[in-house]
A = this chain, B = another copy of it.
Amino acid sequence: MNSSMKKTTLAVIFTILPVTFIFADTSGGSTADLMWITWIGSIAALLFALFLAISVLRKDPGNDTMIEISKAIQEGAIAYLKQQYKVVAIFFVFLFILLALISYVFKLLSPFVPFAFITGGFFSGLAGFIGMSIATRANARTAHASEKTLNSGLRVAFSSGTVMGMVVVGLGLLDLSIWWTLLRYVFLPMGLIGKVEEIPPIMITFGMGASSMALFARLGGGIFTKAADVGADLVGKVEAGIPEDDPRNPATIADNVGDNVGDVAGMGADLYESYVGSIIATMALGSIASLALPNVSAIQAIQIPVSIATIGVISSIIGTAFVRAKGDVSQKVLLSALRRGVYISTALIAILSFLLIYFTAGISFLGIWGAMIVGLIAGNIIGFSTEYFTSDNYRPTQELATETKTGPATVIIGGIALGMASTLIPVITIALATLFAFFLSGGASHPGIGLYGIGMSAVGMLSTLGITLATDAYGPVADNAGGIAEMANLDPVVRERTDALDALGNTTAATGKGFAIGSAALTALALLAEYGNKIVEGLQHLDVSSSFQKFYSGLLTITTNTATQVKEVTLTINLLNPLILVGLFIGGALPFVFSSMSMKAVGRAAGEMVEEVRRQFREKKGILQGTEKPDYASCVAISTKGAQREMVLPSLLAIIAPVTVGILLGPLTVIALLAGALASGFVLAIMMANSGGAWDNAKKFIEKGNLGGKGSDSHKAGVVGDTVGDPFKDTSGPSLNILLKLMSMVSIVFVTSFIALNNLILKLFGG
């Protein structure tokens, strides 16, 4: 295994070095800056990605037809992304101006906020773009490699997935390093920032930028891919009776483009957002946590999450080197190869992070390590639960498949019931993880540390992202490779192999989804806590009227210490206060309203695609006979237009809802709104993801020849379930995770505006 040995060597060079340096800094409680390690981690990840990308591009892309198809997919995907970035740019410019106004005219925000916002969006988009660029080039190469063996197909696809994983974590750490370095070493000395503790809150704004971009990417990509998918399936498969990925289907290229813009670019932006979000939320909670621990400086508490993330990157690089198998091996062997990589990375992270925390922050901080491990374990439990409920190896999905016997209605009811039942384990897991993280890290005596511990469990859960994302992101590449194999009329064994890779990807993706969902909940909790801190801070700096104080008297006390003249603010977000109850109610409804908007968006865009495909079949009779070439580009254009038009409104909800409530019902009601949205949104997201996944696999289970197989009535009912599940699992569900965090970040960024405007309103009404 020559190339694998090369990888290992490279990995060792990139890792031994920084790991050694970590332990050089053993001065407990010091203010030494470890961010240079993050620079190295970031560059290591990006170089490793570059190295793998080159190795993928060196592979043979196959025959001319395959190259042509791959090109068409590439061009469609790039055309789509260009269009998406144009729409998103308008949004970003608008928000940049708004933030600049608030910063420079009303002086309610740090002057760096507008710029941080832009860079977050930029890097998130870039992560998706690079991942997609390599994925659209790896698809034909994977198909070609699969002509040899299953193993060689996996190697190309997995390398492409690893590029995505490394780009996401590498760019995440890069953005963090750049801003940290700029703020600490340029703007702090210039006096533009008062102290180190002010840095993380500024960085939350780039989290907001990243989340905004991710929401657009997930929604836009999700709408695109599902519109194309539904259009291709409903008219091509059902009405015209031609197989999936048949070149005669005008929507087939759009369908394959959709896999890339949705499952690859969308997922990349999404996980960039999750990764960065969990780190900066925890960094922001760090400075308050450090107050309670004598041996830990603020700078250490701020940097530990990002250092852990760096260790995770290095461990992931090492882990990928162990994903290897010799020659022509079975699917099972490959699965254990993938799992070996993940487990080795996980073990490395556990050990290295223990050492890091022990040597830098000392023994008193080891509870934080425990919180991190809790996160890692919780992520795995949720992943297993996802797999259990959605894989056709287990009873729930098998039973769902048998419900197709009584038609589409029963399979729909069954799928929804399955998704709802599947929420219990993840919710209890997150509940226990939250409690363990809080109490292990010392929250019983110092709540600030406990909340920081909750953030650390999210960081821990995502610390393996470099490799788990790799095992997740290669799935769509294999899927695309299958499409190309079909369209290019390759030997059926190739399709079988790519299908096997795809199935393998589904299994590992289940774990990935578990991590994404679990970390979203924990990060959102951390952000909620940080929002509470920001309200206190905001009220310390802004003067509010007596009507404001009276109106919120049950929730808030503001006193001035007569000795020190310092304003002291105490929040007691009393759940029994009607403002809080009302916030919970409104928050609880938001995920439903958001999902409704995104599902309707898919429906409308899909309707247009159906009309277009029908039109082409009607007007060009030669298409179905194979004598005339369908107009692929018009289908891509229709999906693109539909996605752009439809993604805007639901995205705006993430901003409009907290801002409206914040201004009208005050910043405190917003806490409840966020908590309510989290309580219902987390559950709804799991339900949608798992219902969708189970329908998908129930259909595939039938297609394997069970219950009458393809073409049977059971299969038709299964297809209905799968079609309903598509927007559930690929559009609304994953977008919800982003929505929950984005709303929190928006609230954090706009908290001073809430206070100022709500105070104004109450002054006007209350005199």
Interface residues, chain A, with chain B CB atoms under 8 Å away: 230, 234, 238, 403, 406-410, 412-414, 416-421, 423-424, 427-428, 430-431, 434-435, 438-439, 443-444, 447, 450-451, 454, 521, 525, 528-529, 532, 550-551, 554, 571-582, 584-589, 592-593, 595-597, 599-600, 602-603, 606-607, 610, 671-672, 675-676, 678-680, 682-684, 687, 719-720, 723-724, 727
Contacts and interface: CB of A to CB of B under 8 A. Distances in A.
Contacts of A724: 409, 412-413
23 contacts: A230-B409, A238-B407, A406-B606, A406-B607, A406-B610, A409-B723, A409-B724, A412-B720, A416-B599, A427-B586, A427-B589, A431-B585, A431-B586, A434-B582, A450-B578, A573-B574, A573-B576, A575-B580, A575-B671, A575-B672, A584-B675, A585-B682, A592-B683
B600 A417 contact: yes
A392 to B, nearest CB: 19
A600 B418 CA distance: 8
Contacts of A578: 434-435, 438-439, 443, 450-451, 454
A409 B606 CA distance: 12
Contacts of A454: 578
B418 A596 contact: yes
Contacts of A723: 409-410, 413
B575 A575 contact: yes
A169 B414 CA distance: 38
A414 B597 CA distance: 10
A599 B435 contact: no
B409 A720 contact: yes
Nearest to A553: B444
A553 to B, nearest CB: 8
Nearest to A589: B427
Contacts of A423: 589, 592-593
Given A234-B407, A447-B577, A450-B578, A417 B680 contact: no
A434 B575 contact: no
A585 B430 contact: yes
A676 B585 CA distance: 9
Contacts of A418: 596
Contact of A680 (B521, B579, B597, B680): B680
A427 B720 contact: no
Contacts of A419: 596
A373 B76 CA distance: 59
Contacts of A585: 427, 430-431, 434, 521, 678-679, 682
Contacts of A587: 679
Contacts of A581: 434, 525, 528, 675
Contact of A576 (B421, B529, B554): B529
A628 to B, nearest CB: 25
Given A427-B585, A586-B427, A679-B584, A420 B610 contact: no
Contact of A412 (B412, B439, B576): B412
Given A576-B528, A596-B420, A675-B575, A431 B582 contact: yes
A375 B689 CA distance: 38
B521 A603 contact: no
Nearest to A438: B578
A529 B578 CA distance: 10
Nearest to A586: B431
Contact of A679 (B406, B554, B680, B720): B680
Contacts of A584: 584, 675-676, 678-679
Contacts of A416: 596, 599
Nearest to A550: B444
A412 to B, nearest CB: 5
Given A427-B586, A593-B424, A600 B414 contact: yes
B413 A593 contact: no
A592 B720 contact: no
Contacts of A521: 585
A719 B434 CA distance: 44
Which of A585, A587, A593 has its CB near the most chain B CB atoms (within 10 A)?
A585
Contacts of A451: 576, 578
Contacts of A424: 589, 593
A421 B600 CA distance: 10
A421 to B, nearest CB: 4
B409 A593 contact: no
A277 to B, nearest CB: 18
A662 B589 CA distance: 26
A438 B585 CA distance: 15
A596 B417 contact: yes
> Closest 9 CB pairs between A and B?
A588-B679, A420-B596, A409-B723, A680-B680, A573-B575, A421-B596, A427-B589, A420-B592, A438-B578
A328 to B, nearest CB: 40
A434 B571 CA distance: 22
Given A410-B606, A679-B587, A680-B679, A593 B430 contact: no
A308 to B, nearest CB: 21
A596 B684 CA distance: 13
Nearest to A598: B417
A588 B587 CA distance: 12
A733 to B, nearest CB: 13
B679 A417 contact: no
